[in-house]
Amino acid sequence: MTEFPKHFIWGTATSSYQIEGAWLEGGKGLSIWDAFCHTPGKIKHGQTGDVASDFYHRYKDDIALMAQLGYKNYRFSLSWPRIQPTGYGKPNPEGIRFYSDLIDTLLEHGITPWITLYHWDLPLALQLEHHGWLNPKTAEFFVDYADICFEHFGDRVKHWITLNEPWVVAILGFHDGAMAPGRSSNHEPYLVGHQLLRAHGLTVERYRQKFQSRQKGMISLSNNCDWREPLTDSPQDQAAAQRAVEFFLGWFADPVFLGDYPEVMRSRLGDRLPQFTDKDRELIHGSGDFFGLNHYTTLYCAQRKEGEAVDPFTFGNGGIMEDQDIKLVLDPSWETTTMGWAVAPWGCRKLLNWIDKRYDHPPILLTENGCALPDQVKEGRVNDQKRIEFLKSYILECHQAIQQGIDLRGYFCWSFMDNFEWSLGFSQRFGLVFIDYNNLKRYPKDSAFWYGNVIRNNVIQA
């Protein structure tokens, strides 16, 4: 039996576009994800999030189910165009009411809300009229939107995450083109990343100046990072793995926790990496009350040899892989999930260690971890033993990290329920709760009950 610290935070996570549906209801405007999904050829089987998991209509039942399962914290995101249909101007009263009722329902069930302000569904009008995240103005629009959210929800919401995974926005949205807005470039990702960091910094400044003292909440961002294990113990491979994590996590975490981009990015990218103005640097440095981390998998990393092809794990044109000059390798002996991601729980502990050292022992929250598997309902039951093993193994590594002195404060499982997995549509099932997309019926998987027991007892049974 492995016991967790008394106040360890256990939760589950989702995001607006992946679960809500109701894409044309309640006065909501369109987002870049609505447009992307309705563009033929972009999403597997032409699927969309128009209905998704229908959370917009079923949230009361879903929250009742969360409570029944014993879940105590719920991380979800707000759809910016549901709150501001064009991304600027007056808030949409129906959008405000929806989220306000959702928050009340959570609190009535004893579930603590954790809000992500941006999980990728940018109002389409901002893309069309202002070039979205390529435009420094978008950061200012974002602060206005965030201000509306703090004003309306901050009396009841004490945990805020400005951005979910800016790396994904920059790389999958502007480098690989696999995600909205679907652009492919070798320099845009760095410009977009820069504006995302500015948006984050400005928003945290707004929260701290105007709201934090009376609302008494905390605010940060959630960065994603896989672990990169050196393929061999040669100094070249070790340096390559270190460089890879700096390009992945350091890109967005260094400015927030250390005050600038990693030196290795500066020297390799030259003019392609924007400079912070003094004001922006000051704003961004220190703008995290905790270290939000989303972590799923691990790969070996080696120094790329002269002329060697870039890794097979990045779609598109290879730009950022060439910038890093690394090669990624999947060990064929590793088990993988339906995403093709390796199950390597020890990588989670190593990454937590890396963060602890580099950022001088910050309080860390694992804001996403989980796996997609080929789940099926048989006689009303989903026997997903593999997910239980996955969660158990990752959570045990987290426990080890805590034993080693790392200040890990919480763990959120991705995801509460099956949902729309972006360009892969509904083909990937990450949920603790299964959804039959023919009739939208919910079936808690075996892992859902197992996780509820972990939370209730605060222990992992051997």
Q: 326-329 and 298-303 as β-strands: parallel, antiparallel, unpaired?
A: antiparallel
| Residue 451 burial (10 A CB sphere; 0-12, 13-18, 19+) | buried
Task: CB nearer to ligand GAL: give 225 or 448.
Answer: 225
163 beta partners:
118
Cβ atoms of 444 and 435 closer than 8 Å: no
CA distance readout (Å), 424 to 25, 218, 255, 338: 24, 33, 32, 11
Minimum CB separation from ligand GAL for residue 419, in Å?
Answer: 8
Rounded Cα distance, 35 and 26, in Å: 18
Taking the least distance from each CB to ligand GAL, the nearer of 10 and 414 is 414
Of 15, 195, 223, 369, the residue at the interface with ligand GAL (CB under 6 A) is 15
| Nearest of 285, 290, 329 to residue 308 by alpha carbon | 329
Binding mask 18-57 for ligand GAL (x = CB under 6 A): x---------------------------------------
Identify which range of 60-68, 162-170, 405-413, 446-454 contacts ligand GAL by CB under 6 A: 162-170
Supply the minimum distance, in Å, between the C-beta of residue 164 and ligand GAL.
5
Helix (H) or strand (E) holding 254: helix 251-257
Q: Which two tokens stand for residue 415?
A: 């995801």
Do β-strands 159-164 and 9-13 pair in parallel, antiparallel, or remain unpaired? unpaired
Q: Which of residues 165-184 bind ligand GAL (CB under 6 A)?
A: 165, 168
- E strands in 123-226: 159-164, 218-224
270-299 positions binding ligand GAL, by CB under 6 A = 294
| Dist. CA 221–CA 291, nearest whole Å | 7
Stretch that binds ligand GAL, among 83-91, 173-181, 397-405, 414-422 (CB under 6 A): 414-422
Q: Positive or negative CA dihedral for 19, 25, 31, 35?
A: positive
Mark the segment that binds ligand GAL (CB under 6 A) among 135-143, 161-169, 349-357, 392-400. Answer: 161-169
Among 257, 430, 450, 451, binds ligand GAL (CB under 6 A): 430
Shortest Cβ 67–ligand GAL spacing (Å) = 23
Helices (H) and strands (E) counted in the chain, each on its own, are 18, 15
For ligand GAL, which is the closer residue by CB, 86 or 220?
Answer: 220
Select from 313, 330, 432 the least CA-distant residue to 372.
432
* Closer Cβ to ligand GAL, 149 or 371, answer by number: 371
Residues forming beta bridges with residue 298, ordered by sequence position = 227
What is the rounded distance in angstroms from the CA atom of residue 456 to the CA atom of residue 90? 42
Q: Please name the residue that has the structure tokens 């790396």.
A: 167
Show the binding pattern over residues 85-124: x = contacts ligand GAL (CB under 6 A), - = does not.
Answer: ----------------------------------------
Does 164 engage in binding with ligand GAL (CB under 6 A)?
yes
393 or 400, CB closer to ligand GAL? 393
Q: Which is nearer to ligand GAL, 119 or 152 (CB)?
A: 119
> By CB under 6 A, is residue 421 in contact with ligand GAL?
yes
Q: Smallest distance, Å, CB 397 to ligand GAL?
A: 19
Considering only residues 318 through 377, tell me which ones interact with ligand GAL, judged by CB under 6 A.
368
Reported residue count of the chain is 462
75 versus 349: smaller Cβ distance to ligand GAL: 75
H or E segment to which residue 275 belongs = none
The residues annotated as belonging to the active site are 165, 368
162 lies in the binding site for ligand GAL (CB under 6 A): no
Q: How many residues bind ligand GAL (CB under 6 A)?
A: 12
Contact residues: ligand GAL, CB under 6 A: 15, 18, 164-165, 168, 224, 294, 368, 414, 421-422, 430
